Amino acid sequence: MNKQLFENKKSLINNIYLLLGDTTGKYLITILIISIFLLPILHIYIPEESFFHISSYTISLLGKYLCFALLALSLDLIWGYTGILSLGHGAFFGLGGYMMGMHLMREIGDRGVYGNSELPDFMVFLNWEELPWFWYGFDSFLFASLMVILVPGLLAFIFSALAFGSRVTGVYFSIITQALVFTLMLAFFQNDFGFGGNNGLTDFKDILGKDISSKETRGALYSCSAIMLILGYLICRIIISSKIGNILVGIRDRENRMRFLGYNTTVFKIIIFTISAILAGIAGALYVPQVGIINPGEFSPIKSIEIVVWVALGGRGFLYGAIIGAIVVNVLKSYLTIISPEIWIIFLGLIFILVTIYLPNGLTDLRRIIKRNYGRK
Amino acid sequence: MYIILVFTNLNYLLADNNNLRNHILELDTKDFNKKIVSIEKISEIKTDLSLLTLKSILNGKLFIRKSDKKILLVEVIDRKYNAYDFFDKKELGIEKKRKLKKIKINNKIRNILNNKIAILQLSSGTTRQKTEAIFDIIKEGNQKTLIIINELLLKEKDKELLLNLNLAKNSIIARYGNEIEKIEAVKSLSGSTNNDIVNILKSIVNNKIISENIKLEATKSLEASLGNIKFNNILKTTFFGLSLGSVLLLAAIGLAITFGVVGVINMAHGELIMIGAYSAYVVQQIIPNNISASIIISIPVAFVFTGFVGVLIERLIVKNLYGRPLETLLATFGLSLILQQTVRSIFSPLNKTVYSPEWMSGITRIGGLELTNNRIVIIIFTLIVFLTVVYILKKTLFGLQMRAVTQNRKMASAMGINTKKIDMFTFAFGAGVAGVAGVALSQITNVGPNLGQNYIIDSFMVVVFGGVGNLFGTFIGAFGLGLGNKLLEPYVGAIVSKIFILLFIIIFIQFRPKGLFSLKGRMVDE
């Protein structure tokens, strides 16, 4: 008994060793850990005139990038390592966001425009008599957090169990994930669906009793995002470096051979897809309080495809690639859309084409090319 | 002799116009009863101008200039009063509001005007105007109109108009005749699908003073009418379903070729449709005077141009990614963004209008059904395009080679087919068909940079639902989804029915992952 435990411990140590073996990931995690403490301190305690001060706009923006990075990470887990391309990961991100949004709506209480403590503003506006059943329980933060995990997870589980169970693969799976996210968008745009329709959920006031726009809250939200990203990264790393990871890669490279070898690939795919959806949902839940709104636009198919670009640019199948890709693309997006939205769209299109044709492993390929050229000199 | 005839005729007209002027000036009074008298008199002068007078009074466009009592037609645009001379239609420039006097009417006069206009249109005008006028009379008819209808019944020769005139006559008798007349009239109204007649019948059934005999007949007639309306509605829904199905099929055929035959996921397919629609727009800008010709010319133009764009896409992007479907999907998606933005920069983000030729606008009445011509034309056009594509695939050398490459690339290559060339031409062919679809779609929707986006997901659904690599499946898929969507719509609304259809497809794919009609084989696909 004791021996077994000891062996388990040993394999755990082994795992940690594997985690540390990934150099770029190590640097990335280190930077993130430092930023957990540093950024909020710079934001809260350094006076605004100072060069080192970080404005609340910047810290929310950075927090947003980290949420996107977590989302990209979740996509890399299934696309990069298992070969399942989801064109609808925005569905899980959006659902996680809506769950958090619903809690924040309930937190508003009677401070809304209509001063109704029973119903959110948009329901009063639509002349609703009482709270729909699916809003019950969202007063509690704990319940909402549970839902953030359960709802996207359950949807992903059912959806993938159906799809993978009947061996829907490859392009077909991608297209039905797109149909899924498109369906959700149409549904959430409906006013009588009960989630605020077109306008979505917004005008949040508090989170856990603290003012949502205060410096402390923004700092804390940033730290939470960074911590969740690190945790997400570690979870993915552990999965990838375990035996399961090898099976997943096997599925990616030749699923039928894995099947012939006796592995029930369907179960692995369902599990990994569900985990990925849960990570995406958590990213959405952290994203909403930082941007202050969630609306059906998050479910638009193009947003989901953008996630794929982040991963493709960063290099799929490297985990840290997804994080770097998400941050690089979004920083570019922030700058270029200020210069001219047209340029941004052309640029995005070009990234798609050039990366898929010339850099199948994204920026990591670029690094290799540069290294090779320097090597010759 | 001739000259005298023309001269008297002219004199006659001038006299009419003078009369008309006087009567219009008489309208300039606050006494509404006097106005009614003048309107009666105006409607007795049965010329086009008197009809115009009544119409412009109804629309509030008839004004009198205070200074010289000149009668003006005024178009109000951006709160500016653009005046025209009423008689010779000369433009008089912008008038000031306070120098003009508008001829005001109340609801009673409005009803009278509607009725008079209907009667005037009945005695002159095209068959369609006459039909419209008869339907107006059914709404507002009374004993006076009955006399006119009886006169017209003697003169009119057109069968359809006679039928409608009888309907109008009976609808009036059913309200104002004696008991025996009423029973006969109510009987003859049986089965009519006209909304106003149904209302008349309903009011008779619900009226407490009317005798039981009439009520009995009215109830029978009403039931027959409601039955017919139900039947008509089913036909109408079917027509709408077929219409939507044909649009889906048009959008999906090109995709079925590139996706089904070459196995390339082309996310820029929607943008190829958009380019086709813009080709129609450009051709129409080049020949603005002949709309019919411009639409017909733009079909081959769109086919060739989008086909050429297709060749470029194949050479520059898709060629590098054969055998990597997911990467192709991403690259072509990027391309779709670029194409959209390019079109937005060239043509501005605003929607453009492509005008429809005359034979596509208007309504065709079949029984009680009103079908819009453009939808009928598009259904027929879709079938032509579909059959042509099937013909090319099944009966031409190009089609044969294309199918050979699809079935066994290596073997086809060994038989001397240049597979790379076939790939390119197939892709271009699919793109060209998408362009042709764009021309057709330009006739029913706005042409804008986002046109394609609205069709891409639907097209994929159709192809996947029907079964990849099977044009017949695409055909069934498109019409099946179109009909399903429109059959659901009356119960749940447009958007929710679309949601249901999407959910249906998602679930359907789980049970038949290869679509309705799939190629059967014993291979494990890689």
Minimum-distance CB partner of A350 among B334, B496, B513? B334
Between CA A127 and CA A121 the distance in angstroms is 10
Instruction: State the average pLDDT over residues A265-291.
Output: 96
Say if CB B472 and CB B268 are below 8 A apart: no
The distance of B510 to chain A (nearest Cα, Å) reads 5
Nearest CA in chain A to B320: A357
Between CA B272 and CA B256 the distance in angstroms is 14
Instruction: State the average pLDDT over residues B343-361.
Output: 87
DSSP state of B524: P
pLDDT band at A377 (very low <50, low <70, confident <90, very high): very low
Q: Percent of chain B, pLDDT > 70?
A: 93
pLDDT above 90 for B127: no
Taking Cα atoms as reference points, which of B274, B176, B181, B193 lies closest to residue B227? Answer: B193
pLDDT band at A376 (very low <50, low <70, confident <90, very high): low
Question: Regarding beta strands B71-77 and B363-366, do their DSSP bridges make them parallel or antiparallel, or are they unpaired?
Answer: unpaired
Residues on chain B touching A345 (C-beta within 8 angstroms): 337-338, 340-341
Written as six digits, the tokens of B194 are 């006209």
User: Considering its fold, how many domains does chain A have in total?
Assistant: 1
Instruction: State the average pLDDT over residues A106-129.
Output: 84
Q: What is the predicted pLDDT for the residue at A1?
A: 41
Q: What is the predicted pLDDT for the residue at A365?
A: 80
Nearest CA in chain A to B511: A166
Residues on chain B touching A346 (C-beta within 8 angstroms): 337-338, 341-342
Minimum-distance CB partner of B464 among A166, A175, A183? A175
Instruction: State the average pLDDT over residues A75-85.
Output: 93
Taking Cα atoms as reference points, which of A332, A25, A171, A320 lies closest to residue B329? Answer: A171
What are the extents of the domains in chain B?
A: 249-525
Say if CB B263 and CB B429 are below 8 A apart: no
Q: What is the predicted pLDDT for the residue at B108?
A: 80
- The residue of B333, B339, B504 whose CB has the most chain A CBs within 10 angstroms, and thus the best one to mutate to test that interface, is B333
**If DSSP codes are grouped into helix, strand and coil, which group holds residue A207?**
strand
Instruction: State the average pLDDT over residues B433-449.
Output: 91
Between CA A222 and CA A226 the distance in angstroms is 6
Q: What is the predicted pLDDT for the residue at B13?
A: 60
Minimum-distance CB partner of B330 among A176, A186, A308? A308
- Alpha carbon distances (Å) from B469 to A94, A280, B463, B481: 34, 35, 8, 18
pLDDT band at A20 (very low <50, low <70, confident <90, very high): low
- The residue of B330, B462, B504 whose CB has the most chain A CBs within 10 angstroms, and thus the best one to mutate to test that interface, is B330
Name the amino acid, one letter, at A69.
Answer: A
Instruction: State the average pLDDT over residues B267-276.
Output: 93
* Interface touch B495/A345, C-beta < 8 Å: no
Q: What is the predicted pLDDT for the residue at A95?
A: 96
Residues on chain B touching A256 (C-beta within 8 angstroms): 524, 526
- Alpha carbon distances (Å) from B251 to B123, B417, B472, B474, B486: 46, 30, 15, 11, 18
Say if CB B306 and CB B432 are below 8 A apart: yes
Between CA B276 and CA B434 the distance in angstroms is 7
For the ranges A32-36, A161-165, B91-95, B443-447, the lowest mean pLDDT is seen at B91-95
Instruction: State the average pLDDT over residues A136-155.
Output: 94
Q: What is the predicted pLDDT for the residue at A5?
A: 46
Q: What is the predicted pLDDT for the residue at A9?
A: 55
* pLDDT tens per residue across span A155-209: 999 999 989 988 888 888 888 899 899 999 999 998 888 898 888 998 888 888 8
Minimum-distance CB partner of B510 among A162, A170, A256? A162
Q: What is the predicted pLDDT for the residue at A2?
A: 46
Say if CB A152 and CB A282 are below 8 A apart: no
CB pairs under 8 A between A and B: 114
Say if CB B165 and CB B152 are below 8 A apart: yes
Distance from the Cα of residue B413 to its chain's centroid = 49
For the ranges A137-141, B117-121, B501-505, the lowest mean pLDDT is seen at B117-121
Say if CB A325 and CB A310 are below 8 A apart: yes
Rank A12-16, B46-50, B300-304 by mean pLDDT and report only the highest.
B300-304
Instruction: State the average pLDDT over residues A272-280.
Output: 97
* Interface touch A349/B336, C-beta < 8 Å: yes
**Any idea which residue has 């495809």 for tokens?**
A305
How much is the ipTM here?
0.81
pLDDT above 90 for B349: no
- Alpha carbon distances (Å) from B448 to A190, B135, B435: 25, 38, 14
Nearest CA in chain B to A183: B499
pLDDT above 70 for A362: yes
pLDDT band at A10 (very low <50, low <70, confident <90, very high): low
Say if CB B196 and CB B135 are below 8 A apart: yes
Between CA A16 and CA A21 the distance in angstroms is 9
Q: What is the predicted pLDDT for the residue at B1?
A: 47
- Alpha carbon distances (Å) from B315 to A185, B87, B89, B312: 35, 65, 60, 5
pLDDT band at A12 (very low <50, low <70, confident <90, very high): low
Note the helical H segments in A80-169: 90-108, 121-125, 141-165
Written as six digits, the tokens of B282 are 């450009």
Residues on chain B touching A183 (C-beta within 8 angstroms): 499, 502-503, 506
**Any idea which residue has 């077929």 for tokens?**
B242
Report which of residues B249 and A352 the model is more confident about. B249
The distance of A88 to chain B (nearest Cα, Å) reads 13
Give the domain range for residue A218. 2-374
* Interface touch B502/A187, C-beta < 8 Å: no
Report which of residues B342 and B408 the model is more confident about. B342
Name the amino acid, one letter, at A361.
Answer: N
Between CA B506 and CA B275 the distance in angstroms is 30
Q: How many Cα neighbours within 13 Å face the side chain of A33?
A: 9
Minimum-distance CB partner of B326 among A85, A345, A357? A85
Q: What is the predicted pLDDT for the residue at B121?
A: 75
CA distance between the termini of chain B? 93
| pTM: predicted TM-score of the whole model, two decimal places | 0.78
DSSP state of B260: I
For the ranges A186-200, B66-80, B260-274, the lowest mean pLDDT is seen at B66-80
Q: What is the predicted pLDDT for the residue at B14?
A: 65
Report which of residues A73 and B128 the model is more confident about. A73
Angle at B212 between CA B206 and CA B214, to 5 degrees: 80
pLDDT band at A375 (very low <50, low <70, confident <90, very high): low
* Interface touch B338/A349, C-beta < 8 Å: yes
pLDDT above 60 for B524: no
Between CA B50 and CA B117 the distance in angstroms is 9
